[in-house]
Structure 1
Amino acid sequence: MTRVAILPADHVLDLVLNRRPGRLWAASFAGALTLTILLAAGVVVLLVRGVGIWGIDMPVAWGFAITDYVWWIGIGMGGTFISAALYLTRQPWRTALSRYAEAMTVFAVSVSGIFPILHLGRPWFFYWLMPYPDRIGLWPQWRSSLSWDFFAITAYLIVSVLYFYMGMLPDMAALRDGARSRGRQVVYGLLALGWRGEARHWQRHRTLMLLWAAVAVPLVFSVHSMVALDFSVGQVAGWHSTIFPPFFVAGALFSGCAMVLVLGIPMRRSLGLETIITIDHFEKLARLMLAIGLIVAYGYVMEVFTAYYSGDAQEIALARNRFGGAYAWVYWSTIGCNSLALQALWWRRVRTSLPALMVVGILVLVGMWMERFMLIVTSIYRERLPSSWGMFYPTLWDFAFLFGSIGLFLALFLLFVRYLPVLPVFELRQEGETP
């Protein structure tokens, strides 16, 4: 009996239309939903009791919330860069990674936007950050980095959602045409926006995607440079540095590549995408992560060099404190996860080993979070006056918000895997038709 080979595009559509979620998906979603409920409970408690439930105090008035914010928005930046930059440069291996990298961007940026609002102290007045017309002359404080964050996150989220959604229009039409139930036909039909696959549709779609990619790539650099300016405009030792914008951008791309690996490796196995997402795709992504990671390591060296070269006693004291102070373990863990573990990617055997790539990816994500924590806390827990010194001790609610945000991100991603194509179906079909 002859078996008919299933085309890659048909397999991706079949995962959405015909395949029921297995036990692994159900267990993963249940765990993610539990963490999301923990985050919701934390938000309720924070609204009732205030930000005092966190470990923040004077002088450490910024803690886990801002660390989580910078970490999540950095992950989002990396996803868009991988998809849009590879699209502009016409890289053929982009197809296997672009769709779920774009989804990762949308979900990560959405999660990141929660933390600046919650950190306001009175989050129900978050709309004060935007220049809305009112009758009492209330306008944003333009010198506040919170206003900058509002505009940066809003602009980037709009561009990311549109870029993600516009790329799925042909696939929505394919789901509409392949759906059996009337409900799915209506839902996917509405999302397809009347797509019929006409020549003028394809022409305008290519033009629109090219324009959005051209907008998204420079936005990655501008938005995360703005996030870096949140720190570098402050007159605080360890923050007031001109290298922060490129350093933050490199860190964002670094953590984004790591998250694409961490999400893609188990997704590839559980959905049976081995023939589409190959080892070669992950090997190329590992090379890209190695190159960006070397830039991040250069940034660590330059931070120390700049401190000593400046001759500023406070900068030098801060550098020495990071080496051997109360939070030295955070600094050296950051170096170990982000710089030392990365050196394993010089060997092709490691770059082609999925378990090894998974370990390196997780270490990089942990290291980038610890780097943000180290940057924030170690710069402000020792002020110039010894009378102003104070330690930061995170509370259980700090960890609840951290792991709850991870749960929310994973819950959104798992829903995406269940109800939307994880790979661009129309691009897979085009590749199959290309001789």
Structure 2
Amino acid sequence: MTDREPAHFATPAEVTDIVTGLVLVHRAGLRWKLAFGAAALLTALLVVAIVVLLVRGVGIWGVSMPVAWGFAIANYVWWIGIGMAGTFISAALYLTRQGWRSALNRFAEAMTVFALAVSSLFPIFHLGRPWFSYWLAPYPDRMGLWPQWRSALVWDFFAIGAYVIVSVIYFYVGLIPDLAAVRDRASSRGQQVFYGLLAIGWRGEARQWERHATLVKILAGLAVPLVFSVHSMVALDFSEGLLPGWHSTIFPPFFVAGALFSGAAMVIVLAVPLRKAYALEEFITDEHLDKLAKMMLAVGWVVTYGYAAEIFTAYVGGDPYDTALQRHRMQGAYAWLFWATIACNSLSIQALWWPRVRTSPLALVVIALLVLTGMWMERFMLIVTSLYRDFLPSSWGMFHPTVWDGAFLLGSIGLFALLFLIFVRLVPVLSIAELRRHAAERVDTRP
């Protein structure tokens, strides 16, 4: 990465030069190499954990009866939630013609693709026999091993599959004009061939731009409802279970809000170091940070409402098992987890009411990291507190995570970071085409 001072660019040509230069000209600095090394080590830890899991089975985790779900499902829901906001920020803001998305959409879309890739690992390995994961797909066979259509795992397969396909296509289609710009400015033959193949013959003709705009609009229209449907499906994994704390109709909208909440926090965590390392303050401005902070604050209040509604309905409904669950959460063995979740997700964001905090990069990163931590703890709390105290006292039992639980969590973070670091070195991190259009508009409006 580079430590150059931020510059001010006005013309479309200068926008193209600076963004393509990040890929073609600037070499990886010491900070990028250190971050890449740390991410690679954590990814290696994940690989080791996967090998041990395949050899020894899911018994290496802390799962047992009655807590048959643990870190793996919490990681899965956490990562797939992070992946939701990237597409929402890009597609929803595109459909509503919000110009400020142009500085965020590229790496937000990349965040979605990488988070979905990481999240897809956990349901497969949690099956116990991951080599039979293809049984989730409705393939024709002579043995009659058709999927159980009443299983939420099959719903997840279709929901996540559709979302991954649309997200990857949406991400790649938006990249094509920028890949062509990198191809045209590449000096080495290898770079010209590499980016030329990825640009699939883009020449920037009016007919191509017209069809490109139509395709982007169609994909954005598909992606926005998928954001809501995918995490609603994930919520139904819990809602269909007849357990206190799970069997609730509030879960689908509650999970969608939580996904947008953690996703917006991750966008902030990526945006602030990115603009600092590459001196992109001219493009990722304080106004962008302010809008992201407002989005996180608004969705955070929806999440807080979900916490309150869950407690309220449990006590008003009068079900003894639901009220007992709420007491266990607030006063039981995992009370620290409940109150830490409230502190991270509901209390920390109240600082965002102040404009000075919303435009402070350091404060935003700290709050966003607290939110990401709190959202993981929330997913873990929802799983464990509904399982460790069953209907019968004879079925009660604590969950004790193992070192391999932690290895999978840290390794997944390392894999995500590794993919993102490779992305910022090989692909324009900002949308050149959209930034050029905005630069041209600024030039045209000058007195």
Give the TM-score taking structure 2 as reference length. Answer: 0.96
In the alignment, the residues of structure 2 paired with residue 220 and residue 229 of structure 1 have an alpha-carbon distance, to the nearest angstrom, of 15
8 Å CA contact 2:269, 2:365 repeated in 1: yes
| Partner of residue 3, structure 2 | none
| Partner of residue 403, structure 1 | 410
Pairing 1:22-421 to 2, within 5 Å after superposition:
22-421=29-428
8 Å CA contact 2:116, 2:164 repeated in 1: yes
In the alignment, the residues of structure 2 paired with residue 117 and residue 156 of structure 1 have an alpha-carbon distance, to the nearest angstrom, of 17
C-alpha RMSD over aligned residues: 0.9
In the alignment, the residues of structure 2 paired with residue 359 and residue 353 of structure 1 have an alpha-carbon distance, to the nearest angstrom, of 10
In the alignment, the residues of structure 2 paired with residue 8 and residue 96 of structure 1 have an alpha-carbon distance, to the nearest angstrom, of 12
8 Å CA contact 1:103, 1:164 repeated in 2: yes
Structure 1 residue identity aligned to 2:372? L
8 Å CA contact 1:334, 1:371 repeated in 2: yes
In the alignment, the residues of structure 2 paired with residue 235 and residue 315 of structure 1 have an alpha-carbon distance, to the nearest angstrom, of 11
In the alignment, the residues of structure 2 paired with residue 383 and residue 326 of structure 1 have an alpha-carbon distance, to the nearest angstrom, of 14
8 Å CA contact 1:8, 1:276 repeated in 2: no
Aligned residues: 432
Per-residue deviation, 1:251: 0.2
Per-residue deviation, 1:8: 2.9
C-alpha distance 425-304 of structure 1, shift in aligned 2 (>3 A): same
8 Å CA contact 1:29, 1:414 repeated in 2: yes
- Please give the secondary structure, in 2, of the residue aligned with 1:29: helix
Per-residue deviation, 1:9: 2.9
8 Å CA contact 1:74, 1:256 repeated in 2: yes
Identical-residue share of aligned pairs (%): 68
**Superimposed CA distance per residue, residues 61-105 of structure 1 (whole angstroms, 9 cap, x where no aligned partner):** 000000000000000011110111110111111011110000000
- Please give the secondary structure, in 2, of the residue aligned with 1:62: coil
Per-residue deviation, 1:5: 6.5
- Please give the secondary structure, in 1, of the residue aligned with 2:428: coil
- Please give the secondary structure, in 2, of the residue aligned with 1:59: coil
Per-residue deviation, 1:432: 1.3
Structure 1 residue identity aligned to 2:148? Q
Q: Which sections of structure 2, spanning at least 5 residues, go unmatched?
A: 1-6
In the alignment, the residues of structure 1 paired with residue 336 and residue 8 of structure 2 have an alpha-carbon distance, to the nearest angstrom, of 54
**Superimposed CA distance per residue, residues 386-410 of structure 1 (whole angstroms, 9 cap, x where no aligned partner):** 1100000100000000000000000
In the alignment, the residues of structure 2 paired with residue 371 and residue 294 of structure 1 have an alpha-carbon distance, to the nearest angstrom, of 15
- Please give the secondary structure, in 1, of the residue aligned with 2:248: coil
In the alignment, the residues of structure 2 paired with residue 328 and residue 142 of structure 1 have an alpha-carbon distance, to the nearest angstrom, of 37
Structure 2 residue identity aligned to 1:370? M
Structure 1 residue identity aligned to 2:44? I
Moved beyond 2 Å, runs of 4+: 4-9
Structure 1 residue identity aligned to 2:95? L
**Superimposed CA distance per residue, residues 234-260 of structure 1 (whole angstroms, 9 cap, x where no aligned partner):** 100000000000000000000000000
In the alignment, the residues of structure 1 paired with residue 239 and residue 126 of structure 2 have an alpha-carbon distance, to the nearest angstrom, of 19
Per-residue deviation, 1:356: 0.5
Q: Which sections of structure 1, spanning at least 5 residues, go unmatched?
A: none
8 Å CA contact 2:8, 2:282 repeated in 1: no
Structure 1 residue identity aligned to 2:34? A
- Please give the secondary structure, in 1, of the residue aligned with 2:104: helix
